[in-house]
Amino acid sequence: MAQKRTLLNNRALVWLVGSLLNAYGQLFLITSRLRIEADPEVERLVREQRVPVIYALWHSHVFFVPLFRTFERRAVSVLLSAHRDAQIVGVAARLRGIRLVFGSSTRGGAKAYLQLLTVLQSGESVVMTPDGPKGPAERVKSGVIRLAQQSGCAIVPVALASSRLHRLKSWDRSLLPLPFSKAVFELGAPLYCPDEALLEPLQQQLEDAIQTTVARAAQRVS
């Protein structure tokens, strides 16, 4: 563990690994057949009205964050864990034109929340993994709901399915798509969170919405 921390403190090495991750992502996109399927209401909000939204996807799907810029056709900000491991993902994301906000429920959470709120108020969409940074996997935490309530922005559940993939041995069993795949990037119907609504029912509603989106993407691939 100590050796791993030493390596991740080496900025040159972090940049190299992040660059390789970005190159792999590009290889996947070039060799695979990718479809983006968006709910009509999301198309209207994002493409026609240019309204900012909060994209929510499971932490295991974080590899596909660059696709949000492809869909939005403009800048998107992503909440990324302040953990050392996230630095590598951060390098890859920056190389794809993604803006980063560092923080989590355990480190820099309050500052990151205010940054995300400011980004939304400026008219730019944000991306969050509501079960991150350390789980439990596929369980929605309250932060994304509070952000939606305070900003008034809709939450859009997102998932990706790939015909060829590998699952990493991480706490969230992260998905690593393999080249020469058939893939679908699915954006489900937007979810609104009224100020007066209770947190727990909304958390369950979003959890169900993301799982439904995951299942729909998988069905399209199969």
Question: How much is the pLDDT for 192?
Answer: 97
In eight-state DSSP terms, residue 167 is E
Is pLDDT above 70 for 189? yes
**Alpha carbon distance 201, 12 (integer Å):** 45
Q: What is the pLDDT of residue 83?
A: 63
Higher per-residue confidence, 110 vs 2: 110
pLDDT band at residue 3, thresholds of 50, 70 and 90? very low
Residues 107-162 pLDDT 10s: 557 888 899 999 999 999 999 999 978 889 999 999 999 999 999 999 999 999 99
Rg (CA), the chain: 17
pLDDT, tens digit, 9 for 90 and up, residues 21-74? 889 999 999 999 999 999 999 999 999 999 999 999 999 998 888 889 889 988
**Terminal-residue alpha carbon distance, the chain:** 40
- The Cα–Cα gap between 206 and 210 comes to 6
pLDDT higher than 80, residue 183:
yes
* Token pair in block for residue 172: 């969230």
- On whether the CB atoms of residues 71 and 96 are closer than 8 A, the answer is no
Better-predicted residue by pLDDT, 122 or 96: 122
pLDDT confidence bin for 1, thresholds 50/70/90: very low
Q: How many CB atoms lie within 10 A of CB 40?
A: 8
Cα 14 → chain centroid? 21
Burial class (CB in 10 A: 0-12, 13-18, 19+), 188: buried
Q: Phi, psi (5° rounding) for residue 91? A: -60, -50
- DSSP H/E element including 184: strand 182-187
Instruction: pLDDT band for 104, please (50, 70, 90 cuts).
Output: low
* Averaged pLDDT of the chain: 89
Please say whether the beta carbons of 108 and 115 come within 8 A. Answer: no
pTM over 0.85? The answer is yes
Whether the CA torsion 112, 117, 123, 128 is positive or negative: it is positive
Lowest mean pLDDT among 21-25, 97-101, 165-169: 97-101
